[in-house]
Amino acid sequence: MSAVATTRQESWARSTWDYYVTTIRTQLQAQFQYRAAVYAYMVALVAEPVIYLVVWTTIARSQGGSVQGIGVGQFAAYYVVWTLVRGWNVVFTPFGWEWRIREGEFSAALLRPQHPIHFELAWWTGQKLVWSVFYIPVFVILSLVFHPALHPRPLEIVVFFFAIWGAYVLRTINNFILGMITIWTTRAGAIFELWFLSELLLSGRLLPLQLMPHWVQSITSWFPFKWTFYFPIESLVGNMSNTALLRGLGIQLLWIGICVTVMRFVWRLAARHYSAVGN
């Protein structure tokens, strides 16, 4: 590699790093200014898994304390951790791309030196960091009320930390790819709905995958959904082996690599098509 190319790469890395730091810092300041709104939004996010938790613990108690080997405390642990994973998985919805194009945000994104995915990742990362701080009392309250059987090993805590970041990056890229469909058609809603319905059923978001039929469990590994919800949750509560934990992180990285490749290809096509239509 030539010295000029090396210098350019170093300059790009430096400018990208500065971009992330500035965007994250701006979001941190903005989120702390609207603490009440952040808590209100967090309560809305927590409501979904808490409803699932109440339903499944009630069913478990009615069946003698467990459902297919999953006890009340394990359900509580699963859905309490779910509340944190849910917050980290909130990213820009593909349904918002129509607004983004109509308001000219996409046109502005084409003029920036960085790929727009960097803004997505940096902007939402600032929110995640604030949400994590505000989530602490929520976690304490849920633990006192539902008594989760949560006793993670040090390795599980470390893997969970990387798994929620991996899930966040993977889901951000997936939604970005979906959103770009709007550039070709304004009737992409049905595609988005099908995607999110599949995610709901195959990700472990609705219920632990152990409760799904075996044929469903066998196909979940062929989709990215499992690695954005179920794996991060199970890495902390599921007593997975060390091999399974590291393998899960590896598969997350594999999916991220696949989705990055798809995103870069679709982005080039989308930018050309958008420019042609716009002109």
- What number of CA atoms fall less than 13 Å from residue 262's CA on the CB side? 15
Ramachandran angles phi, psi of 71, nearest 5°: -85, 175
Q: How far apart are CA 176 and CA 195, in angstroms?
A: 13
pLDDT tens across the length of the chain (279 residues):
566 566 767 777 788 888 899 999 998 888 888 777 777 877 777 888 888 888 888 888 888 888 888 889 999 999 999 989 988 898 999 999 988 888 888 888 888 888 899 999 999 998 888 888 888 888 899 899 989 999 999 999 999 999 999 999 999 999 999 999 998 887 888 899 999 999 999 999 888 998 988 888 889 888 999 999 999 999 999 888 999 999 999 999 999 999 999 999 999 888 888 765 554
Q: Give start and end residues of each alpha helix (H) in 181-241.
A: 189-202, 214-220, 230-237
Please give the pLDDT value at position 275.
63
Q: How far apart are CA 209 and CA 14, in angstroms?
A: 42
pTM of the predicted protein model:
0.90
Write out the H or E segment, with its range, that includes residue 66: strand 66-67
Please give the pLDDT value at position 53.
87
Task: State the residue for tokens 């400018």.
Answer: 15
Secondary structure class of 67 (helix, strand, coil)? strand
C-alpha separations of 154 from 158, 239, 242 in Å: 6, 12, 11
Spatial CB neighbours of 63, under 8 Å, sequence gap ≥ 6: none
Secondary structure class of 200 (helix, strand, coil)? helix
